[in-house]
Structure 1
Amino acid sequence: MLNPARNSLFDRYLGISRLLAGQLDFDAIIKAVADEISHIIPHDHLDVCIKMLDGKYHIAYESGLDTAWSQHPPALLTGSPIRTLLSGEVDFLLSGDACADPRFHFKGAFSSPIIELSLHSRLHVPLKVQGDVIGALSCSSRQSDCYTREDVENARAVADLLAPYFFALRAAEQAKRSAVIETEARAREEGLRFGALKLTEALEAERQRIGMDLHDQTLADLTRLTRRMERLTHMPAVAGDMLEPLCRAMQQCMHDLRQIIEEAKPTVLQLFGVAEAIENHLERSVRESGQPIGWRMIDESGGSLRDLNPTVAVALFRIVQEAVNNAIRHGQSDNITVRIARIGQLLCIEVEDDGRGIADIKETAGHGIDNMRTRARLIAARFEIGSNPAGRREKNGTRMRLTLSPDFPVLVEV
């Protein structure tokens, strides 16, 4: 004769199996089967904790009472009140008064919800797949001495039903995370590859510009001076007034050559730092422009620029250098302000002018703006350029803003 109690229990197990079908996440499974499990093992609180693949952390999913166990995932396995079960040291945990049971309370244990919610009776069995513990099923009651060894066996049967589903979901979640990480890595790699290509093009263009400057101006001047000096060597007497123009021309060639070298290698930056190099470039550029332009350099960074990675420092200087040059050459500005500030953990550099501004950034973007944007991307900085909100009404003005974390690792040598 069939035992009605066994038949009823068997029906509950079948009900759990049916409820598991089609569930796609951990929380959905717990909420779907909690009621059926309550007919097998009465509880005030039900939770399943799943070990992460690294074996160091676990995540809890709950039904019934809300606790801090599921509100702060993931948690260290070493701090779990049931760490001995999750590590395989014991095959089950059964307690009539978990609030006072020393097995759940030890130094560093995350056991406060047991006390706060008065979870006296606790029953824990492992979730096993192919002999490996992947997590645990836990039932708790506010009544003392609520569970027996028979409940342990029933909980094991429920755990055997749940374990394969949780194992498959954990594998799917890991695959999803790995796919996301791989996609993000590929996107970063592609962005860096594109940025490096643009930077290479910019450096090649700069090299060609320097070569043309040397060829078209300095080399031509030196060639002309050499020929004049050759002619003088054939003259019986050379007057001082004939050598003076040659000396002036030679000095001008030397000045031009120093100018080109200085633009190619910012020695002030190497010797004194970013802020000093920016101020020096701003002052010299305005002075040599011959235009009545007012300028200000405001450094509120608290010395943050001094500790920058050399690669980041060069990139920042080049970006600001280009922005200042644009304001002087093309902006028709009366005033230029460079402001450096530390905002929380971020470093912010702004170059503002009150010139004619940029009507359409897409139409006016060229090598200069593209180079600034590329350099910013390669040091993980946020680059913004547009109208200056403080510009005059008859002129929109331009503001370039650069924001970055000074501690961000450099990925590409700029």
Structure 2
Amino acid sequence: MLNPARESLFDRYLGISRLLAGQLDFHSIIQAVAAEISHIIPHDHLDVCIKMVDGKYHIAYESGLETAWSKHPPALLTGSPIRSLLSGEVDFLLSPDACTDPRFHFEGAFSSPIVELSLRSRLHVPLKVQGDIIGALSCSSHSHDCYTMEDVENARSIADLLAPYFFALRAAEQAKRSAIVEAEARAREEGLRLGALKLTEALEAERQRIGMDLHDQTLADLTRLARRMERLSGQAELPGESLEPLSRALQQCMHDLRQIIEEAKPTVLQLFGVAEAIENHLDRSARESGLSIQWRMVDESNGALDALGQTVATALFRIVQEAVNNAIRHAQPEVILVIIRNLNGTLSIEVIDDGSGLMSSRNPGGHGIDNMKTRARLIAARFEIGQNDSGPGTFVKVQLPLGRKRIRDH
């Protein structure tokens, strides 16, 4: 059976445990348990010093006298008067007069509150969790030499009660700070993405306007010029053979211009949707490549393409368009396959070719792959490019989550 003194001390420890319940921050814990601790270890000043997760900084929480320690932002551990304890060099610190104790006063030490408030007797023990020091419990008195080794042992018992709570709070605060930083970073990234997306929309609209202007004006002018040359070449007094090369060059120029117009203003995409536009581009690109290319498109999206907003649809089409163009220009494939799937709420579009491989499809002077990555990033899609596992050639894959915010225009 415990003697009355031991029983009273045990009751105090139980009281501290009860007071810890429900406290959600460091300062509240110190304020809640300070009076109970004073019955075990009398003090004029009580503080808990907590090491930050990075191990370089610490912060103090006080009860009783207020000092610059708690008003100061997180400070470097190297300047703490009790750095030897926090670093694990000593098991405890016990001083009869900390105002003159050289252990607390060294170059760079933040020890001015000790002298200013006459915190003479000082007792410090570490807060440990699983052998790691996460901070320290400190008791101070204006009186000279008032603490003993018995007080040190009692302080260690109190520290053992407090340490798990402080450890959990530190972890929670670190997680909260990390979540805030991550949320702010995501907000900034989303703001930049939406801004870039708006710019892309404006550029796409301007691109289409230029395409229409080229069609309505420039191409029409060239067509009239071509007809005049045809009429002139039929007149006997003109050397027709001298106009023939010019006529061929003009026809080629008109052909190239029509391609530019088609890419600038994909009318099939606007009228019939992504699947039809991809199929049309595959067919036209294969025919005009001069190569013997077999192509196939598999649409297993279950109508997901029809729900896409115009901006997202255009971006996806441009990615596929660039992937097909890259394959034809740089890899000389025999087969190009486009697979569109709806996999558990994620739209997946994959362009697969059997050409000469990824390195051949990288044009040192171009920006095709970078453009595809940028377009995917602007619509919050995942982009992937690599060598085929099952054979020669390259795959390009873009994956877009089909949430409501993803499929509507911004």
Question: TM-score, normalised to structure 1's length?
Answer: 0.53
Match of 2:198 in 1: 198
Answer yes or no: is 1:56 the counterpart of 2:39. Answer: no
SS at match of 2:173: helix
Match of 1:207 in 2: 207
Match of 1:111 in 2: 111
Match of 2:30 in 1: 30
- Give a deviation string over 1:58-114, Cα, whole Å, max 9, x none: 111110111111112211111111111111111001111111211111222111211
Match of 1:8 in 2: 8
- Give a deviation string over 1:129-173, Cα, whole Å, max 9, x none: 111111100011122212111111111111111111111111222
Alpha-carbon distance between aligned partners in 1 of 2:43 and 2:59, rounded to the nearest angstrom: 20
Match of 2:269 in 1: none
After superposition, residues 74-153 of structure 1 pair within 5 angstroms as 74-153=74-153
SS at match of 1:108: coil
Alpha-carbon distance between aligned partners in 1 of 2:186 and 2:233, rounded to the nearest angstrom: 67
Alpha-carbon distance between aligned partners in 1 of 2:31 and 2:142, rounded to the nearest angstrom: 20
Letter matched to residue 167 of structure 2:
F
After superposition, residues 361-380 of structure 1 pair within 5 angstroms as none
Alpha-carbon distance between aligned partners in 2 of 1:233 and 1:144, rounded to the nearest angstrom: 118
Shift of 1:221: 4.6
SS at match of 2:100: coil
Answer yes or no: is 1:165 the counterpart of 2:165. Answer: yes
Match of 2:340 in 1: none
Shift of 1:199: 2.7
- Give a deviation string over 1:196-242, Cα, whole Å, max 9, x none: 433322221121222233333345456556767887899999xxxxx
- Give a deviation string over 1:355-406, Cα, whole Å, max 9, x none: xxxxxxxxxxxxxxxxxxxxxxx9xxxxxxxxxxxxxxxxxxxxxxxxxxxx
SS at match of 2:89: coil
After superposition, residues 136-285 of structure 1 pair within 5 angstroms as 136-221=136-221
Letter matched to residue 77 of structure 2:
L
Alpha-carbon distance between aligned partners in 2 of 1:220 and 1:142, rounded to the nearest angstrom: 98
Letter matched to residue 21 of structure 2:
A
Alpha-carbon distance between aligned partners in 2 of 1:25 and 1:61, rounded to the nearest angstrom: 10
Shift of 1:7: 2.1
SS at match of 1:59: strand
Question: TM-score, normalised to structure 2's length?
Answer: 0.53
Match of 2:308 in 1: none
Alpha-carbon distance between aligned partners in 2 of 1:111 and 1:222, rounded to the nearest angstrom: 87
Alpha-carbon distance between aligned partners in 2 of 1:207 and 1:179, rounded to the nearest angstrom: 41
Alpha-carbon distance between aligned partners in 2 of 1:14 and 1:91, rounded to the nearest angstrom: 25
- Give a deviation string over 1:20-55, Cα, whole Å, max 9, x none: 111111111100000011111111110001111111
SS at match of 2:11: helix
SS at match of 1:119: coil
- Give a deviation string over 1:305-328, Cα, whole Å, max 9, x none: xxxxxxxxxxxxxxxxxxxxxxxx
Letter matched to residue 165 of structure 2:
Y
Name the count of aligned residue pairs.
240
Alpha-carbon distance between aligned partners in 2 of 1:206 and 1:56, rounded to the nearest angstrom: 54
Of stretches 170-179 and 61-70 in structure 1, the one that deviates more from structure 2 is 170-179
Match of 1:397 in 2: none
SS at match of 2:127: strand
Match of 1:285 in 2: none
Alpha-carbon distance between aligned partners in 2 of 1:2 and 1:209, rounded to the nearest angstrom: 92
Give the direction of change, closer, same or farther, for the CA distance of 1:2–1:212 in structure 2 (3 Å limit): closer
Alpha-carbon distance between aligned partners in 1 of 2:59 and 2:164, rounded to the nearest angstrom: 17
- Give a deviation string over 1:221-279, Cα, whole Å, max 9, x none: 56556767887899999xxxxxxxxxxxxxxxxxxxxxxxxxxxxxxxxxxxxxxxxxx
Runs of 4 or more off by more than 6 Å in structure 1?
Answer: 225-237
Match of 1:42 in 2: 42
Alpha-carbon distance between aligned partners in 1 of 2:209 and 2:102, rounded to the nearest angstrom: 77
Letter matched to residue 146 of structure 1:
C
Alpha-carbon distance between aligned partners in 2 of 1:210 and 1:115, rounded to the nearest angstrom: 78
Answer yes or no: is 1:71 the counterpart of 2:71. Answer: yes
Alpha-carbon distance between aligned partners in 1 of 2:38 and 2:63, rounded to the nearest angstrom: 11
SS at match of 2:114: helix
Shift of 1:19: 0.8
Alpha-carbon distance between aligned partners in 2 of 1:66 and 1:90, rounded to the nearest angstrom: 27
Alpha-carbon distance between aligned partners in 2 of 1:115 and 1:226, rounded to the nearest angstrom: 98
After superposition, residues 295-306 of structure 1 pair within 5 angstroms as none
SS at match of 2:125: strand
Alpha-carbon distance between aligned partners in 2 of 1:214 and 1:59, rounded to the nearest angstrom: 68
Match of 2:339 in 1: none
